[in-house]
Amino acid sequence: MDTALETPRSAPPVTAESVRPLVWLIGLSHATNHFVMLIFPAVLLLIQREFGLGYAALGAVANAGLLCYGLGALPAGILADRFGGERVLAIWLFGGSAACLAIALADSPLTLALGLAGLGVFASLHHPAGSGLVVALRQVPSLNVARAFGLAGILGNVGLGSSPLVSAAVAGVWGWRAAFLVGAVPGLLLGAWLWRRPRLPQPKSAAPRRRFGLGWQDLSLPLLLLFVLETLMGFIFQGFTTFLPAHLAQSAGIPGLTAGQVTRGGILASFAFLIGGLGHPLAGRLMGFRRREVIFLGTMVGATLCLAGLGTLTGVPIVA
Write a three-state SS string for 14-45: CCHHHHHHHHHHHHHHHHHHHHHHCHHHHCHH
CA–CA dist 153, 155 (Å, integer): 6
Most trustworthy range by pLDDT among 180-184, 212-216, 236-240, 248-252: 180-184
* Among the ranges given (63-77, 247-261, 300-314), the one the predictor scored with the smallest mean pLDDT: 247-261
CA–CA dist 117, 68 (Å, integer): 6
Residue 175: which CATH number? 1.20.1250.20
Is the Cβ–Cβ distance between 272 and 92 less than 8 Å?
Answer: no
Contacts of residue 117, defined as CB under 8 A and 6 or more positions apart, other chains included, come to 64, 65, 67, 68
What's the pTM value of the predicted model, to 2 decimals? 0.77
What is the predicted pLDDT for the residue at 95?
A: 96
Residue 182: closest CA among 174, 190, 191, 194? 174
CA distances from 80 to 62, 103, 120, 175, 293 (A): 26, 26, 17, 36, 32
Contacts of residue 273, defined as CB under 8 A and 6 or more positions apart, other chains included, come to 38, 157, 160, 161, 163, 164, 241
**Residue 182 belongs to a domain:** yes
What is the predicted pLDDT for the residue at 79?
A: 87
CA distances from 284 to 24, 149, 279, 296 (A): 20, 11, 8, 13
Predicted confidence (pLDDT) per residue in 59-94, tens digit: 899 989 988 998 888 888 888 888 888 889 999 999
**Residue 262 belongs to a domain:** no
**Residue 177 belongs to a domain:** yes
Which residues constitute the domain of residue 179?
12-204
306 or 142, higher pLDDT: 306
* Among the ranges given (45-54, 62-71, 143-152, 246-255), the one the predictor scored with the smallest mean pLDDT: 246-255
* Among the ranges given (36-50, 252-266, 270-284), the one the predictor scored with the smallest mean pLDDT: 252-266
Predicted confidence (pLDDT) per residue in 4-40, tens digit: 455 444 556 666 677 788 889 999 999 999 999 999 9
Which of the four pLDDT bands, split at 50, 70 and 90, describes residue 205?
very low
CA distances from 255 to 3, 51, 131, 251 (A): 60, 21, 45, 10
**Residue 96 belongs to a domain:** yes
**Residue 231 belongs to a domain:** no
CA–CA dist 183, 68 (Å, integer): 19
How far is residue 268 CA from its own chain's centroid?
A: 19
**Residue 33 belongs to a domain:** yes
* Among the ranges given (100-104, 211-215, 225-229, 260-264), the one the predictor scored with the smallest mean pLDDT: 211-215
CA–CA dist 301, 198 (Å, integer): 46
For 52-86, b/e burial (b = at least 16 CB within 10 A) is ebeeeebbebbbbbbbbbeebeeebbebbbeebbb
171 or 292, higher pLDDT: 171
**Residue 270 belongs to a domain:** no
Q: State the distance between the two ends of the chain, measured CA to CA, in whole angstroms.
A: 43
Residue 186 pLDDT > 90: yes
CA–CA dist 132, 154 (Å, integer): 17
Q: How many domains does the chain have?
A: 1
**Residue 307 belongs to a domain:** no
Work out the angle at residue 104's Cα, subtended by the Cα atoms of residues 99 and 110, and round it to the nearest 5 degrees: 80
* Among the ranges given (246-250, 269-273, 274-278, 291-295), the one the predictor scored with the smallest mean pLDDT: 274-278
Section 222-236 average pLDDT: 84
Across the strands, what pairs with 203? Answer: 5
